[in-house]
Structure 1
């Protein structure tokens, strides 16, 4: 049996979500459209940022959706993979940067 924690979205679930909070959904869609519109950053660059962030937040739905958005906006496979590597470095960098907290705790316990 192949079951995923991340079930696919269905029309029925999308309808239920919309019916339960229509105003919030409408506002979210408007916000999303404004955020991803062409501006100081191109639509392609915004989608590449979203691909990277989706990998850091580890949202499989976002990874799929924003990868599709990046491709539609003209991003190459290489650009998408570089964005993912930037995300990986930032996530690893966070652990490295915060290591001083553990070291300081150890040093305080030695006193």
Structure 2
């Protein structure tokens, strides 16, 4: 029998997780509810941010869950994909921005070797 790297979240696994640390589970659920409630940003915007972040952190559970929640809040396919593209640009942008570290090291090595 093949075992998936990412098993489906079942009621049994959710209960096991909650039973192991019920106080922490309750605190996390309360925190999550507050974070994703309407505030200065509406729920839909927060869920679109979560979709983008989930793609950067590459959490398949978060990608699926927050995509569904964004759609429940009225997000369109285009909005979801634009959020994903923002994530892709930011992830690529991090590599681009940090290229200065590589170039700085190149310059240090050159200066030490007299090149």
Query: Would the TM-score normalized by the shorter structure come out above 0.5?
Result: yes
Q: Equivalent residue for 1:63?
A: 63
The Cα of 1:57 is off from its aligned counterpart by 0.4
The Cα of 1:110 is off from its aligned counterpart by 1.1
Unmatched segments (≥5 aa) in structure 2: none
| Structure 1 residues 85-100: aligned runs within 5 Å | 85-100=85-100
The Cα of 1:10 is off from its aligned counterpart by 1.5
Q: Secondary structure at the match of 2:37?
A: coil
Unmatched segments (≥5 aa) in structure 1: none
The Cα of 1:101 is off from its aligned counterpart by 0.1
The Cα of 1:4 is off from its aligned counterpart by 2.6
Q: Secondary structure at the match of 1:74?
A: coil
Q: Equivalent residue for 2:108?
A: 108
Q: Which has the larger radius of gyration?
A: 2
Output one character per residue of 1:63-96: Cα deviation in whole Å (capped at 9) or x when no partner.
Answer: 0000000000000000000000000000000000
Moved runs in structure 1, 4+ residues, more than 6 A? none
Q: Equivalent residue for 1:79?
A: 79
The Cα of 1:2 is off from its aligned counterpart by 5.3
Q: How many residues align?
A: 111
| TM-score normalized by the length of structure 1 | 0.96
Q: Secondary structure at the match of 1:64?
A: helix
| TM-score normalized by the length of structure 2 | 0.93
Q: Equivalent residue for 1:52?
A: 52
Distance 1:93 1:4 in 2: 32
Distance 2:3 2:39 in 1: 41
